[in-house]
Structure 1
């Protein structure tokens, strides 16, 4: 009996697979799976950037979040129905007397409509540079007081005037303005603290989130800060002004009646001529 060699069947053939395909499967198993080919995006992530990591984007975002609210939103420098004013003073006489050294006015958008250094009538003995920012060279070609005074009076006329402690500014300008047209941030009730007035720099920090008057004062920035404080509260502020005007009008109407009654009593007490 001849030897009968039993040919071992490939298990893969039992499944009806092509022998070549079965060999390929065994070869793949022996070598293990190949790692996936990285995509272009993956290569871009693993490659080191030539210029290094960009840092300007976070800084740019932080700069956007710290935009100075005092910067005007447009370049319209026309004279509007509301203007804000701030003055810087120098010392004359014995140095303790204040005189106008610079005056700045801005419109309702914060754009400068007038900004002039002023040559006082009296001799300057103290420039108060650490506060006023005014130096001797600034007044060498400054305009005469009377010229500046006339121009400021023309700008203010018939308009609402905004500012901080305006009585001081008007005093050095030797000007007056109707009280009904004054909007003083040092006197506005919501800005007062325990009944007392607060400095403009504190109001700007709390309500505008901006720092001003750190060192030498800038009258333009101060006028802009006062204007922005007014604009943010304009609706409520104007309502309170109208309410005060109505109250005063009612009080004035009542006073003549009282005087008339007193007059009638006096007439009754006069001796009769009959």
Structure 2
């Protein structure tokens, strides 16, 4: 390694410098040069305060020592104001100069449209742009004079604020289904009604040769018919739950209709126990219905008087008679759930009233909350539909049972010895 000469000591001996001392010596020397250059620069600024500075002072002492010099430096650093550009005139024609004696008629006239300078994007420059809306109107008026027909075009033109809103997309009306849309014939009309609507279901029923569904009331009730008590009546009851979890049932509503579907009795029954389940989704009963209902004993008596000596029609009617605590002769009961032709038609051993009405009457009942009036009308309509056949079968079965009894041999009495 090369040896570095050090400082000579008073004794004449040389001392070698370490690397740390060398760095220290270099930085001190460099900082001195920087400080001297800064001082010379400050002196020049003080001598020539109007000179343009490339950068503001950085040393904080300069701000406090000479505030006036700083203000002058900042003023000198501001950009010079640009002089307005003289407008160019069309085809080199300059406006006439007015003489002293002539009146200045056109002093306040707005500049011609060619004098308004625009940039490449078509925007008016800030130095030449008019500040008032009235100026724009004057410019347009001048253009109209120069260009014939310009006023008409400008009247038709609309500003950005007056532009109409975007046109809404036309709402396409839903087209009713036709027979061409229902080209298939192997789908249940009820499924089509759920997905495509009632109109499509009616088309499919006609296509398959089925009876179209009608209004429920028009099917179940005969218009302009007798509205009193007839020989045959139909009954239906609604119940609510009592006891733990509403397992037990009590009477809540009783409805009776005559042979033509006309309602002859319909009453709500006041509960004798605390109701724990109103079963509203099925029964349609709510607290306000039975809060001021009729006493159950009064209802039992009135219903018993109506049913006495008459044919009573119902669906699973044993449940209705049981909840009313009433009894009725078996030969005067017509239960649509137990009628064998109905079971055979729908293919069920215990068909529901909803199923019988859908398959035989082609109407929909019990859609949501039940109504005891409608259920009674439905059972009566089922009965009247097959009344002659039903009654004939009962008479024939009665004759057969009577003949069988006669043909039975009676046991001989023992002769007295």
TM-score for the superposition, normalised by structure 1: 0.68
Which of 215, 221, 236 is the matching residue for 1:67?
215
**Deviations 1:114-136 (Å, cap 9, x if unpaired)?**
00111233332211111110011
C-alpha spacing 1:245/1:131, structure 2 compared with 1 (3 Å):
same
Q: Which residue of 2 aligns with 1:103?
A: 254
Distance between the aligned counterparts of 1:139 and 1:65, measured in 2? 34
Alignment of 1:1-274 (within 5 A): 66-68=214-216, 69-74=219-224, 76-94=226-244, 95-193=246-344, 194=347, 196-254=349-407, 257-258=409-410, 260-261=411-412, 264=413
C-alpha spacing 1:132/1:177, structure 2 compared with 1 (3 Å):
same
Corresponding residue pairs, total: 206
Q: Which runs of 5+ in 2 are unaligned?
A: 1-197, 203-211
Q: Given that residues 215 and 363 in structure 2 are in contact (C-alpha distance below 8 angstroms), is that contact kept between their aligned partners in structure 1?
A: no
Distance between the aligned counterparts of 1:65 and 1:176, measured in 2? 37
Distance between the aligned counterparts of 1:234 and 1:161, measured in 2? 13
Structure scoring higher RCO (CA < 8 A, sep ≥ 6) equals 1
Match of 1:154, SS state, is helix
Distance between the aligned counterparts of 2:234 and 2:365, measured in 1? 16
1:98 is displaced (CA, Å) by: 1.6
Match of 1:137, SS state, is helix
Q: Which runs of 5+ in 1 are unaligned?
A: 1-58
Q: Given that residues 242 and 275 in structure 2 are in contact (C-alpha distance below 8 angstroms), is that contact kept between their aligned partners in structure 1?
A: yes
Match of 2:276, SS state, is strand
Q: Given that residues 86 and 222 in structure 1 are in contact (C-alpha distance below 8 angstroms), is that contact kept between their aligned partners in structure 2?
A: yes
Q: Which has the higher strand share?
A: 1
Distance between the aligned counterparts of 1:145 and 1:253, measured in 2? 46
1:166 is displaced (CA, Å) by: 0.4
Q: Which residue of 2 aligns with 1:5?
A: none
Q: Given that residues 213 and 362 in structure 2 are in contact (C-alpha distance below 8 angstroms), is that contact kept between their aligned partners in structure 1?
A: no
Distance between the aligned counterparts of 1:247 and 1:201, measured in 2? 34
1:92 is displaced (CA, Å) by: 2.0
Q: Which residue of 1 aligns with 2:179?
A: none
C-alpha spacing 1:202/1:252, structure 2 compared with 1 (3 Å):
same
**Deviations 1:198-253 (Å, cap 9, x if unpaired)?**
00000001111110111111111111111111111011010011122223323444
TM-score for the superposition, normalised by structure 2: 0.46
